[in-house]
Structure 1
Amino acid sequence: MQAQKVKLATSNPESSTVYPILFIIGLVHLLNDALQSVVPALFPVLQNSMGLTFTQLGLIAFALNATSSLIQPVVGIITDKRPSPYALPIGLTFSLFGIIGLALAPSFWVIIISVLFIGLGSAAFHPEGSRVAYMAAGNRRGLAQSIYQVGGNSGQALAPLMAAYILLPLGQKGVLWFTIVAAAAVMLLLYIAAWYKQQVAYSNRPLKQKKTITVKSTDKSIGNRRIITFSICLLIFLVFARSWFHAGITNFYAFYAIENYGIPIADSQIYIFVFLGAGAVGTFFGGPLADRFGKRLVISLSMLGSAPLALLLPFVGPTLAYLLVAIIGFIILSSFSVTVVYAQELVPGRIGLVSGLIVGLAFGMGAVGSVALGVLADWVGLTNTIIFTVSLPFIGLLTFFLPSDQKVREMHN
């Protein structure tokens, strides 16, 4: 029943894809994640102006990602039961306050409080944003999630450019320019919330005329539930590993490039931009490829295909590193949206919870990775930390234990 309820929330429940809504929610996802990306983009500035250690930088990343991620499953559970269209603009208003605080913060602890506000705004946005993408998807769920998620990855890709061309020249107070971004996101989300509210009202009308069907538990259904539970736990672990890799590259590879290649801060940020920019392109193509060739296959290839290239990264020169980070970013982030759709099909009707677990909890556990990698970098050095980071994609071997797309369909039929 719940899966049907969400399906009816499109203009044509059977097949219509509402592209204007998808593009707007994708744009807002870009703006939201750009606001989040201001925090790691500010790291080189804060390290110079406040003398912060790698551990303190890791704690800032932890405060941001733990708040934005660990709360997402809770938000998803609540909104699965009671959809909350206006949680979207309200959440981004919290981010607006956090950006103002970050720009004016005089100390490490005020920075922590400010990023907590940004994290709260993101936690409110992501589960409901994913629901909007699902409602507007029609029968093209992979493509819809790709449009939505590529916005977020593009926003993250802007972080090194923001560092190089806004934050390094203007310093900490340059963050004030991003209040314009936050305000624009709030305005767009007011429009999205109005559409979302109409879809919820529309989907509730026919559901009231439906009868509830009780299905008795059988040995087969119990076995299917065990497979689904195992698969969700494994998928969360895989995304967890990918998020540690992502955190290692985005938070610490720039420092590695400065140390090993002898380049200035602004130039080091280009590596991160190339990685995230190529990743955004990979995210877009991953969804349609999964619609055609299967979701488990794309998830497997995204990790195992990037693993040998990632292992080469610490041992190449500065020029070849540009090419490698681009290819690695494209391949490993091609499954970013696919994992969400795969999880939604494993647990149909729980869009908010699934989004909170996969996009929020699992990917956000990169927050823990940020702290652990920061401590590791202070302890054993950047080179050893990067070598550990690039070995993580080999965990993708575990994807062979996930059920095939056909098996997932059979379990729910």
Structure 2
Amino acid sequence: MNKKYLYMLSAGHLSVDINSGSLPALLPFFVSEYGMDYTSIAGLMFASSFLSSIIQPLFGWLADKGSRQWFMVLGVLMAGLSLGVTGFVTNYWSIFAAVTLMGIGSSIFHPEAARNVNAIAGKKKGQGMSIFSVGGNGGFGLGPLLAVFLVTTFGMKGTAFYAIASLFTAAMIALAAPAIRRESARQLAAVTKKATDNPIPRENDWRAFSRLFLVIVFRSTLFTAISSFLPLFCIQVLGASHAVGSATLSIISIAGVLATLVGGLLADRKGYVRTMRYGACLLVPCLAVIVFTQNIWAVYAMLIPMSFAMQGPYAAFVVLGQSYLAKSLGFASGVTLGLSFSLGGIIVPSLGWYADSYGIAAVMLVILAISICCAAATFLLPEPKKA
């Protein structure tokens, strides 16, 4: 496993996902600077996730047809340049189009990059995917902080940073692409030789993948719901300040970087299915403590365990999807990396309606119930066939 190339791909992952992570923090500035209403803001979030979630498996399917290193370069450029434009135009539909292109850029990057990571990682696929995933998690964690700093320091034109950063990152990946292709081919050749000595057919297990998809639906809903309602629960139910409530997500994101690395190592040693079960089962008591104690100190005590429960299995479920669809790595990556974030954005608005009708405390009980369903669903997952 050549970690140098994994770090480069992780840097590309950071460059792409820092745009998606920055968008929510830019929305209040769109309201104050451009006069957008809440319906318009919701439309931008929809634009960033809905179309990209549909087409990302398509780009994964295309990646499976042959090496397309330029997908990674194009994805980095589209994501960064598109978000960078939003600080220089004021027309809503222009911004809507830019945000849509940002989401498409993310969809183009992820499947091809994850396919290369799978090849380069060799036998240590969990560790390799965790290194790659740290870039994405870091992007989502640092994005809001960076967005606020840029706009408060330089005004809306501070978004130009995203475009400039994408140019440098895309150039790095473009220069390294031939070496990444050679390393991927070398690792795949080694796997092919081993398979020749001990032949095990590479097959797609769609039944197992459909069960994993069920877990992805629950997991994505939990991620988005916790991100949306945990700060509000702390503020409105527990009486915490806005700063204390919002800090919960920052702690989960920062601890998630370490959790992702530890989870990757655990996945290689204990297995991908078992790692997912550990994470899903750990999340249930963490949420139960938060919901039933209704104490802000109890919430903070649960944040780091929650981070490990949520972020630790990240590499495991991506590699597990690739293991189930061994002949369609790009498509599997498109689903696990794409839908795992966007599906929640489609489902969670119904929880918002429920919260409006019955209160934040009631919706937290629903989130707890979803976590129990997610944990139960992981026990339906079969162990992948070993190559």
TM-score bracket, normalised by the shorter chain, equals 0.7 to 0.9
Q: Quick one: which of 149, 163, 169 aligns to 1:185?
A: 169
Q: Deviations over 1:270-307 (max 9, x none)?
A: 22111112222211111111111121111111111111
Q: 1:149 aligns with which of 129, 133, 138?
A: 133
103, 106, 111: which is aligned to 2:90?
106
What whole-Å deviation, never above 9, does each CA across 1:233-284 have from its counterpart, x for those lacking one? 11112112111111122344344444443524x5543221111122222111
Find out whether 1:128 has 2:112 as its counterpart.
yes
Aligned position for 2:377? 398
Contact between 1:58 and 1:374, CA under 8 Å: does it hold in 2? no
Partner of 1:353: 331
CA distance in 1, matches of 2:240, 2:154: 23
Distance change in 2, residues 1:71/1:35 (3 Å): same
1:88 aligns with one of 72, 75, 81: 72
More divergent stretch after superposition (293-302 vs 44-53): 44-53
Cα deviation, residue 358, structure 1: 1.1
Structure 1 partner of 2:122: 138
SS at match of 2:131: helix
What is the identity percentage for the equivalent residue pairs of Structure 1 and Structure 2? 24
CA offsets 1:335-384 (integer angstroms, 9 cap, x no match): 11101111222221321011012111344212313543444455555444
User: Matched residues in 2 for 1:61 and 1:245: separation?
Assistant: 17
How far residue 69 of structure 1 moved from its aligned partner, in angstroms, is 2.5
* Match of residue 296 from structure 2: 318
Q: Does the Cα contact within 8 Å between 1:161 and 1:273 map onto a contact in 2?
A: no
Shift in Å, 1:149: 0.9
Question: For 1:52, which of 37, 40, 50 is the aligned residue?
Answer: 37
Structure 1 residues 62, 373: CA separation in 2 closer, same or farther (over 3 Å shift)? Answer: farther
CA contact (8 A) 2:15 2:80 kept: no
1:239–1:358 CA contact under 8 A, matched in 2? yes
Q: Which amino acid is 1:308 matched to?
A: P
Q: How does 1:255-274 map to 2 (within 5 A)?
A: 255-260=232-237, 261-264=239-242, 267-274=244-251
Whether the aligned pair in 2 keeps the contact of 1:30 and 1:154 (CA below 8 Å) is yes
Q: Report the counterpart of residue 97 of structure 1 in structure 2.
A: 81
Shift of 1:317: 3.3
Q: Is the 8 A contact 2:26 2:148 kept in 1?
A: no
**Equivalent residue, structure 2, for 1:231:** 208
The higher relative CO (CA closer than 8 Å, separation ≥ 6) is in 1
Does 2:314 match 1:329?
Answer: no
1:312-344, CA deviations, whole angstroms, 9 ceiling, x for partnerless residues? 324533343233222211112211110111122
Are the equivalent residues in 2 in contact too, given 1:58–1:373 (CA < 8 A)?
no
Structure 1 253/124 Cα, relative in aligned 2: closer, same or farther at 3 Å?
Answer: same
Moved more, 92-101 or 330-339: 92-101
- The 3 A distance-change label for structure 1 pair 180 and 378 is farther
Query: Quick one: distance in 2 between partners of 1:150 and 1:206?
Result: 27
1:130 to partner: Cα distance: 0.4
Whichever residue aligns with residue 347 of structure 1, its letter is: L
Work out whether residues 5 and 180 of structure 2, in 8 Å CA contact, stay in contact via their aligned partners in 1: no
Tell me the distance in 2 between the aligned counterparts of 1:172 and 1:394.
43
Q: How does 1:181-260 map to 2 (within 5 A)?
A: 181-199=165-183, 228-260=205-237
Distance verdict in 2 for CA 1:71–1:388, change over 3 Å: same
Which 5+ residue runs of structure 1 have no aligned equivalent? 1-16
Q: Distance in 2 between matches of 1:245 and 1:205?
A: 39
Cα distance change, pair 201–348 in 1 and its aligned pair in 2 (3 A): closer
CA contact (8 A) 1:161 1:270 kept: no
Determine the structure 2 residue equivalent to 1:63.
47
> Is the CA contact 2:240–2:296 (under 8 Å) kept in the aligned structure 1?
no
Residues 29, 204 of structure 1: alpha-carbon distance in 2 compared, 3 angstrom cutoff:
closer
1:343 partnered with 2:309: no
Query: Which letter does structure 1 place at the counterpart of 2:367?
Result: T
- TM-align CA RMSD: 3.2
Distance in structure 2 (CA, Å) of the matches to 1:100 and 1:189: 20
Moved more, 160-169 or 59-68: 160-169
| TM-score normalized by the length of structure 2 | 0.86
Q: Report the TM-score when normalising by structure 1.
A: 0.81
SS of 2:208's equivalent in the other structure is helix
Q: 1:385 Cα shift?
A: 3.6
SS in 2 for 1:25: helix
Cα distance in 2 for partners of 1:170, 1:379 equals 41
- Offset of 1:37 from its aligned partner? 0.6
Q: Distance in 2 between matches of 1:176 and 1:378?
A: 37
2: CA distance between counterparts of 1:108 and 1:378?
Answer: 28
